[in-house]
A = this chain, B = another copy of it.
């Protein structure tokens, strides 16, 4: 069986991350990675009449641009795997309708980018597909009104709250090609230490990130050049560091979090940092992937983190379960 350790699937053949196309909104386009995104959309509606329709346009355009840039046709793509934060993963479903590709919808909240990459890698390495599109998105406005409060209310934001990234990335996984390859995949277990505060997702997700990261490193024994989590922000990142330090295995010198990379946290008024499916997705495409291509790093442990927050369950007294999926990538 192609499995190492307890919980990690080992990719024996080649699964290349052949190309990634990123689209972000205005705020992300003013952040530290502004010169690295493929497309920056200044208008939060992008010509649509609702934020939800704008978000699905992000997904659709990301895939179309990726196909155009690489001369790919629909017939050459075996599968589309996508998901997002909205109820019924509406952005993904409607984008899939317009793209007319065989479609697998997933839900992993902000862990979606790693979840789609993991499934895609397994399906290609299993010999079933040559080319798979892995896609996710989030939009500040559609997420905020679904999960928290109407934006029109203008409520005060908590200091532990994060800013949902408006953005989408489409990743082209392929059996043949060039560039970084996915080598190991760990699908996480849910960890829930009882956080009930929808304004502190970093704390809700951090224990899951620790659990999956530790499991992946124990399983593979690989010494990564860079370890990144998806969207823990400043609060969650410090908890992960603390958990590793307390267990005598500090990762501080090579660990970062996409939620702290995508914005200038001091100047952009984002409080604890970025979040949302689009956070780790666009940082992977615009920043981490390029570090691999430029040989700045050779081994990347990319770990998207998800708070499986159900507003209904929270109203019923439940806490917020966290999950993290790890993708080991090597140049």
Q: Could you tell me if A97 and B192 are in contact, using CB atoms closer than 8 angstroms?
A: yes
The distance in angstroms between the C-alpha atoms of A188 and B79, with both chains bound, is 10
When distances are taken between beta carbons in the complex, the residues of chain B under 8 Å from A125 are: 126, 128
Q: Mark A73-103, 1 if CB is under 8 A from B, else 0.
A: 0010011000100111110011011001111
Contact with A119, one of B2, B3, B7, B119 (Cβ below 8 angstroms): B119
When distances are taken between beta carbons in the complex, the residues of chain B under 8 Å from A1 are: 127-130
Q: How far is the CB of A106 from chain B (nearest CB, A)?
A: 5
Q: Could you tell me if B129 and A3 are in contact, using CB atoms closer than 8 angstroms?
A: yes
The distance in angstroms between the C-alpha atoms of A270 and B156, with both chains bound, is 47
Q: How far is the CB of A126 from chain B (nearest CB, A)?
A: 2
Q: How far is the CB of A115 from chain B (nearest CB, A)?
A: 7
Would A94 and B52 be within 8 Å (CB), given that A102-B187, A108-B105, A188-B103 are in contact?
Answer: no
Q: Could you tell me if A128 and B9 are in contact, using CB atoms closer than 8 angstroms?
A: yes
A27: Cβ under 8 A from any B Cβ? no
A107: Cβ under 8 A from any B Cβ? yes
Contact with A104, one of B115, B123, B309, B312 (Cβ below 8 angstroms): B115
When distances are taken between beta carbons in the complex, the residues of chain B under 8 Å from A86 are: 310, 312
Closest to A146 in B: B312
The distance in angstroms between the C-alpha atoms of A316 and B88, with both chains bound, is 15
Q: Could you tell me if A83 and B100 are in contact, using CB atoms closer than 8 angstroms?
A: no
When distances are taken between beta carbons in the complex, the residues of chain B under 8 Å from A321 are: 93-94, 96-97
Q: How far is the CB of A99 from chain B (nearest CB, A)?
A: 9
Contact with A106, one of B96, B101, B107, B313 (Cβ below 8 angstroms): B107
Residue among A93, A122, A188 facing the most chain B CB atoms (10 A cut-off): A93
Q: How far is the CB of A207 from chain B (nearest CB, A)?
A: 12
Q: Mark A1-14, 1 if CB is under 8 A from B, else 0.
A: 11100110100000
The distance in angstroms between the C-alpha atoms of A186 and B128, with both chains bound, is 11
The distance in angstroms between the C-alpha atoms of A192 and B100, with both chains bound, is 11
Q: Could you tell me if B316 and A50 are in contact, using CB atoms closer than 8 angstroms?
A: yes
Q: A9-B129, A86-B312, A94-B313 are in contact. List 19 more A-B contacts (CB 8 A).
A: A2-B128, A3-B78, A3-B129, A87-B87, A87-B88, A89-B308, A90-B313, A93-B190, A97-B192, A97-B321, A101-B189, A102-B188, A102-B189, A103-B187, A103-B188, A104-B118, A106-B106, A119-B119, A122-B128
A residues near B (Cβ < 8 Å) are: 1-3, 6-7, 9, 49-50, 52-53, 75, 78-79, 83, 86-90, 93-94, 96-97, 100-109, 115, 118-119, 122-123, 125-130, 146, 186-190, 192, 308-313, 316, 318, 321, 323
Give the top 8 A-B pairs by smallest Cβ distance, nearest first: A126-B126, A90-B310, A97-B190, A93-B308, A88-B310, A87-B87, A107-B107, A102-B187
> Can you sample 14 A-B contacts with CB below 8 Å?
A1-B129, A6-B75, A7-B102, A50-B316, A86-B310, A87-B311, A89-B308, A93-B310, A105-B106, A106-B106, A122-B122, A123-B123, A125-B126, A146-B312
